């Protein structure tokens, strides 16, 4: 009982700390020891969102009019998942994201005369629609939309959009079957 009270108080203290630093909360959230090194008032967490230990919310670039990272109501993000945004990562409601995932909305331009890290970002919004289930160790790249109710198998690399209501897996991820029911 005491442990549960301590964990609840610690979560509320984290919410206060991040609210002062510019994270927008749309209600109560459950936060473990997360990292959000730069905010730029560009992160929004929906009511009931839960972010477990080691989740990283990384925002690059200047302030935005809309959140660069938006996580919907009642979404759970498991341990050591990283969101890396320059433009927009939008996660819908009731999404479940497994541990050690990487979700981004950008990559770097490259070419024979460019050194890694010296090029500009190439960005495109990334979206996980409502009720998705993302397995452990999944990588989701820029410009991808995961359709509502879809499941992405553990260890997948998602390079292209996935339609709603399917199971997809692999590297690169491909649709395996439609979800019936």
Active site amino acids = 108
Selection from 94, 106, 169, 179 nearest residue 131 by Cα:
94
Tell me the C-alpha distance between 143 and 63, whole Å.
21
- In 3D space, the residue among 179, 138, 139, 143 whose CA is nearest the CA of residue 161 turns out to be 143
Using left for φ > 0, alpha for ψ between -120 and 50, and beta otherwise, residue 61 falls in left
- Give the residues across from 102 on adjacent strands: 82, 139
Structure tokens at 48: 């009931």
> Cβ distance 99 to 73 under 8 Å?
no
């Amino acid at each position: 009982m005491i442990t549960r009270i301590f964990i609840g108080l610690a979560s509320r203290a984290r919410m206060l700390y991040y609210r002062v630093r510019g994270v927008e909360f749309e209600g109560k959230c459950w936060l473990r020891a997360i990292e959000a090194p730069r905010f730029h008032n560009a992160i929004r967490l929906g009511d009931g969102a839960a972010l477990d230990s080691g989740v990283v919310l990384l925002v690059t670039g200047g302030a935005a009019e809309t959140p660069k990272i938006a996580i919907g109501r009642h979404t759970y993000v498991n341990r050591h998942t990283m969101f890396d945004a320059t433009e927009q990562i939008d996660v819908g409601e009731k999404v479940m994201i497994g541990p050690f995932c990487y979700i981004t909305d950008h990559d770097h331009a490259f070419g024979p005369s460019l050194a890694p890290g010296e090029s500009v970002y190439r960005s495109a919004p990334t979206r996980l629609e409502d009720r998705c289930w993302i397995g452990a160790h999944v990588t989701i790249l820029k410009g991808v939309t995961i359709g509502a109710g879809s499941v992405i198998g553990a260890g997948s690399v998602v390079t292209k959009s996935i339609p709603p209501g399917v199971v997809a897996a692999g590297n690169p991820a491909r649709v395996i079957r439609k979800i019936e029911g």
